[in-house]
Amino acid sequence: MRLEKCWFCSSTIYPGHGIQFVRNDAKIFRFCRSKCHKNFKMKRNPRKVKWTKAYRRLRGKDMTQDSTFEFERKRNRPERYDRNVTEETLKAIKKIDKIRVAREARHHSMRMKGKKAMERQAAAKELEQDIHLVKAPLALQEDPSLTLPKIKVKVSHPQAENQMEE
Amino acid sequence: MAACVASKWSMAVSRSLLGNLSSNNLGSLGKPQDLTSLGYNGLFFQQLRTFIQMRTKLKVVDNSGAKWVRCIQALKGRKGARLGDTIIASVQEAQPRGKVKKGEVVYGVVVRAAMPRGRCDGSEVKFDDNAVVLVNKQGEPIGTRVFGPVPHELRKKKHLKILTLAEHIA
């Protein structure tokens, strides 16, 4: 039994799932489900289809190089069965998975690092420039609490001028 | 059977239509999913592959001299032959100096079938085309070379000679 990778989305194909397509040049394409198979038949390039691992790795959204990937490389020499080795391998698989998940989470957080600051900046700019999309300008003038706090400028003889206008 | 053949032909026609259409539409529309908005249903994307039956054209992938054959009878199988089965075929086109001549009735073993065949681990295999290797009555191949990939299923059917001649076992 061997766990293969889907040619289109790079997910693992467990036994009993999927379709294998053998092209006449003897290249074997394995698909995990009909979604990937149909996309292949439509001649879509997985590197351009957003939900595939190929796209994500190409655009740097997922980790590309890590030492945890070395453990999963394909080995063509069959190993002699040794009970201890099998036991250790099973334990190691669990540990390696945990480490890999932790590293991927860290990669994700590094990628999203400046997000909060950028969002705040964008929001402040929008409030300053595009407030007319939210509230009509006349409403803003009537009720000054809706606008940003304006800077107060001292004007000379304020009482006399106000009495004259009213 | 006539209905089967007719449906297969219409499927082939519709697929070629789709091929032409998509080559045009992708230029103008730029999105493959717009084809469905034109009224074509998803049936076009699922080309139903069926058995190898009477009048099925098969490519010959050995050096016995024949180019392609037409199936006359599928031995074993009420609906038709599948991957790994033997068929009786009539040679339609042959190379001038070969071991078989045009019009001869020969036996053949199906080594590639477009119809998916279930494997014992639950997965399915399918190939790009329908291909056959000519054999004699005893099951031994007439030619001395086999081109292209062949499936594992031949081992169970005891066509070991073909497997040894094959250049790639899928």
Three-point CA angle A153, A156, A160, nearest 5°: 120
Is B127 close to A22, i.e. CB distance below 8 A?
Answer: yes
B128 touches chain A (CB under 8 A): yes
- Which residues of B are less than 8 Å from A17 in CB distance? 122-123
Rounded distance between C-alpha atoms, residue A107 and residue A112, angstroms: 9
- Residue B145 near residue B60 (C-beta atoms within 8 A): no
- The band of A2, judged by pLDDT with boundaries at 50, 70 and 90, is confident
Is B127 close to A21, i.e. CB distance below 8 A?
Answer: yes
Percentage of chain B beyond pLDDT 70 is 74
More confident residue, A7 or A126: A7
Given a cut of 70, is residue A5 above it in pLDDT? yes
Is B122 close to A17, i.e. CB distance below 8 A?
Answer: yes
Is B128 close to A24, i.e. CB distance below 8 A?
Answer: yes
Torsions phi, psi for B99 (to 5 deg): -80, -20
Is B123 close to A1, i.e. CB distance below 8 A?
Answer: no
- Tell which residue, B97, B78, B100, has the closest CA to residue B89: B100
Residue A17 Cα, gap to closest chain B Cα (Å):
5
Q: Average pLDDT over chain B, rounded to whole? A: 80
- Which residues of A are less than 8 Å from B45 in CB distance? 38, 41-42
Kindly report the pTM of this predicted structure. Answer: 0.71
- Which residues of B are less than 8 Å from A42 in CB distance? 32, 45
Given a cut of 90, is residue B91 above it in pLDDT? yes
Q: What token pair was written down for A91?
A: 């334990």
Is A20 close to B124, i.e. CB distance below 8 A?
Answer: yes
B129 touches chain A (CB under 8 A): yes
Given a cut of 50, is residue B19 above it in pLDDT? no
C-alpha distance from residue B137 to each of A85, B59, B93 (Å): 51, 20, 21
Is B170 close to A26, i.e. CB distance below 8 A?
Answer: yes
The C-alpha torsion from B3 through B8 and B12 to B13, rounded to 10°, is 0
- Which residues of B are less than 8 Å from A41 in CB distance? 45
Mean pLDDT confidence for B113-120: 92
More confident residue, B35 or B62: B62
Rounded distance between C-alpha atoms, residue A19 and residue A6, angstroms: 10
Rounded distance between C-alpha atoms, residue B81 and residue A132, angstroms: 73
Strand partners, B81: B52
Given a cut of 50, is residue A161 above it in pLDDT? yes
Dihedral class, residue A122 (left if φ above 0, else alpha if ψ from -120 to 50, else beta): alpha
Is B32 close to A42, i.e. CB distance below 8 A?
Answer: yes
Is A19 close to B151, i.e. CB distance below 8 A?
Answer: no
Best interface-test mutation with A: which of B45, B123, B146, B169 has the largest number of A CBs within 10 A?
B123
Best interface-test mutation with B: which of A6, A21, A28 has the largest number of B CBs within 10 A?
A21
